[in-house]
Amino acid sequence: MLTEQAVLALRNQVRSAIDSSGSLSDAELMATVERMVFTWCEQHPLTAADKVKLVRRLYHSFRGLDILQPLMEDPEVTEIMINHYREIFIEKLGELQLLPVAFESKERLEDLIQAVVAGVNRVVNESSPIVDARLKDGSRVHVVLPPIALRGPAMTIRKFPDQPLTMEQLVRLGSLTEEAAGLLQVLIAAKYNVFISGGTGTGKTTFLNALSQYIPSDERIVTIEDSAELQIRTVPNLVSLETRNANTEGKGEIPIRELIRASLRMRPSRIIVGEVRGGEALDMLQALNTGHAGSMSTGHSNGAKDMLARLETMVLGAADIPVAVIRQQLVSALDIVIHLDRLRDRSRRVTEIAEVIGMKDGEVVMEPLFLFEETGVNLDGRVLGQLVRTSHKLKHRDKLHMAGLMERGGSLV
């Protein structure tokens, strides 16, 4: 029977072989692992399938992500949550599961974290215990170390598919209707500024990727992110910028705000900010108000109206600007807000598409163009319903006129 102690003993044997031979190529390491596993199995018989799993696990403990590697290769796993080196949860097909596996020690998890972070030139330690990073496949990694993490190192990995979902696939999955998708296609082509809001895990980045496929291929796009996640593949003239954390001396930090300002000198047709969380909201609004129509971003909120209130708070935290001025900037900068929700059946749906109309009595006015209407629950517990067009019509049609899309846009809303 294969135990964790046996795996650890074999791993130590492989490590000794590496130390005595110097650095091994991937093929040499695999041959070494196979030889040791087959020798061990002479006294401890395993099935052929278990032998393969053992070889892969040992190999990936040196070249991959150790016990996480099979999870990374499983397309049904969308998120990996390590609360403690002995406590690993995953999200699989929308459900959370506690895994029966664990890292051999806290030090092994720490080594893995340092390897991941170093791969994207980031630093995480006791003095800088929180970091965002990414894996080679684009998966997003968030790490928190002690003393912030009280139970030991914690790591969350958000996986992304090799091929980003298209809007057509989202329609088939029931995330929105074909009519709503058609309207968004026209609005993106006409360079309406779009903001996507939603809670954690509602699919904001996935939806932003899908929307980007409607951007004309002859434009120049600059993307700005904390850790690169966007997979824009339909626009060849693309510049992707990523923030940088401060080094161990506290120097060299390049935040989103600085990247937004730098992007304005790159002659972008549109600017896409992966997510705004703080003072960069001010720079984003200023960029949208200086001729960069068609730009997009995302943020956390409970609703479309709430998203504007949160943006207002972010700007207030960055500069001493009167609230009335901030609201006027919001109205001038944003055209459409799309809100995503994760319903109780764990499905991700667009629940509102709203237009920013203007100001009235000092308040920002929005009108919903589409709202999600629930009609019931089926036998499998899936929430039934869809986006329904409201009685409100698209008020600001000047961009449709300028893009020559008035006829298409007018027929949709």
352 CA to centre of own chain = 21
3-state class percentages of the chain: helix first, strand second, coil last, to nearest 5? 35, 25, 40
Alpha helices by DSSP H, listed for 48-201, are 48-63, 69-73, 106-118, 167-172, 178-189
Q: Which residues contact 277 (CB under 8 A, 6 or more apart)?
A: 299, 300, 314
Q: How far apart are CA 142 and CA 155, in angstroms?
A: 6
Distances (CA, A) of 79 to 94, 97, 139, 172, 383: 9, 10, 9, 23, 23
Q: Is the pTM of this model over 0.75?
A: yes
Structural contact between residues 98 and 89, judged by C-beta atoms closer than 8 angstroms? yes
> DSSP letters of 198-239?
E-TTS-HHHHHHHHHTTS-TTSEEEEEESS------S-SEEE
Does a cis peptide bond (omega within 30 degrees of 0) precede residue 147? yes
Calculate the CA dihedral of residues 223, 224, 228, 232 and round it to 10 degrees: -10
- The CA distance from 336 to 184, in Å, is 9
Instruction: Report how far residue 78's alpha carbon sits from residue 372's, in angstroms, rounded to the nearest whole number.
Output: 25
Would you state the pLDDT for residue 412?
60
Q: What is the pLDDT of residue 407?
A: 67
- Of the CA atoms within 13 Å of residue 248, those in its CB half-sphere come to 6
For the chain, domains (ranges, CATH) are: 1-63 (no CATH), 72-159 (3.30.450.370), 167-412 (3.40.50.300)
Count of residues making up the chain: 413
Alpha-carbon distance 342 to 149, whole Å? 27
Sheet of 140-144: strands edge to edge?
Answer: 95-98, 87-92, 77-84, 154-158, 140-144, 130-134
Longest Cα separation, the chain: 82
Residue 39, SS3 per DSSP: helix
The structure tokens listed for 245 are 């954390």
Query: What distance in Å separates the CA atoms of residue 20 and residue 233, rounded to the nearest whole number?
Result: 45
Distance (Å, whole) CA 290 – CA 133: 31
CB 294 within 8 A of CB 191: yes
Tell me the C-alpha distance between 357 and 337, whole Å. 11
The pLDDT value recorded for residue 322 is 92
Residue 1, pLDDT score:
62
Give the pLDDT score at 115: 85
List the pLDDT tens digit at each of the 413 positions of the chain. Answer: 677 777 777 887 877 777 666 677 778 888 888 888 888 888 888 888 888 888 888 888 777 787 888 888 888 898 999 999 999 999 988 788 999 888 878 888 998 898 888 877 788 888 889 988 888 887 889 999 999 999 999 999 988 877 888 999 999 999 999 999 999 999 999 999 999 999 988 999 999 999 999 999 999 999 999 878 888 889 999 999 988 877 767 778 899 999 999 999 999 999 999 899 999 999 889 888 877 899 999 999 999 999 999 999 999 988 888 999 999 999 999 999 999 999 988 889 999 999 999 999 999 999 999 999 998 888 888 888 899 999 999 999 999 988 888 766 656 66
CA distance readout (Å), 42 to 12, 17, 52, 54, 171:
19, 20, 15, 14, 54
Q: Of the candidates 314, 325, 309, 307, which has an alpha carbon nearest to the alpha carbon of residue 194? A: 307
H helices, E strands: number in the chain:
14, 15
Cβ neighbours, 10 Å, residue 55: 17
Tell me the three state secondary structure of residue 405.
coil
CA distance 211 to 128: 35
